[in-house]
Amino acid sequence: MSLRPQIAALTRRQRDIHACLEDREAQGLPPPSLDELCRAMGVSSRGSMHKHVQGLIEGGLVERMDGRHRGVRLRRESGEGPGRLPLLGRIAAGRPIEALSNPEPVEVPERLHGGGRCYALEVRGDSMVEEGILAGDWIVVESREHARNGEIVVALSDGEAATLKRIEQRPGVVVLHPANAALAPLEYSPERVQIQGVLVGQMRSYR
């Protein structure tokens, strides 16, 4: 069922908050905390923001994230509910290609979801085979702009090409490591690399 009639019944401030959450989600940003919402909306009172958000929760339009600090996200529509994630396209683990295409839903067990907004990609290529990531696998990616050293990330280089690699970040350099002894690591200056997400799950079909 569409949520639009519920949105039309909101107060102006609640509509603005809901629109802010939609904008963040469209940009691939993680769900915000109350403090981050206050800053984004120019609201000085955290208590006032809490009341507005509580009204959205009671209206079934947003939900809290199990007490996590980054805690308020849009409630999923029926086509993207628990167990379903958008399949955004294919990513070549062997050579950088464009990762995103037309979204379509894919069934993913909830235990494979990360703490934030997630999407699925289909793997192409063989550069991550030594990590057990094979061509044809589906990976679950938590949308993030940051990662810890050693995490496997979807990284965008020079604003054009996306690839799946294990990341190492040192002063003045970002190294994207393949998991294939036949391939060399990719090195970039930090400003050339944008992290688009972190690997949190993986699925495979044997059919």
Catalytic residue among 2, 78, 127, 143: 127
- Residues with Cβ within 8 Å of 39's Cβ and at least 6 positions away in sequence, in order, are none
What CA–CA distance (Å, rounded) separates 165 from 158?
15
Catalytic residue among 51, 143, 157, 165: 165
What's the Cα-to-Cα distance from 6 to each of 58, 82, 192, rounded to whole Å?
11, 21, 42
51 catalytic residue (yes or no): no
- Residues with Cβ within 8 Å of 134's Cβ and at least 6 positions away in sequence, in order, are 123, 126, 204
Strands 84-92 and 118-124: parallel
165 catalytic residue (yes or no): yes
DSSP secondary structure letter of residue 97: B
What CA–CA distance (Å, rounded) separates 204 from 122?
10
Please give the positions annotated as active site. Answer: 127, 165
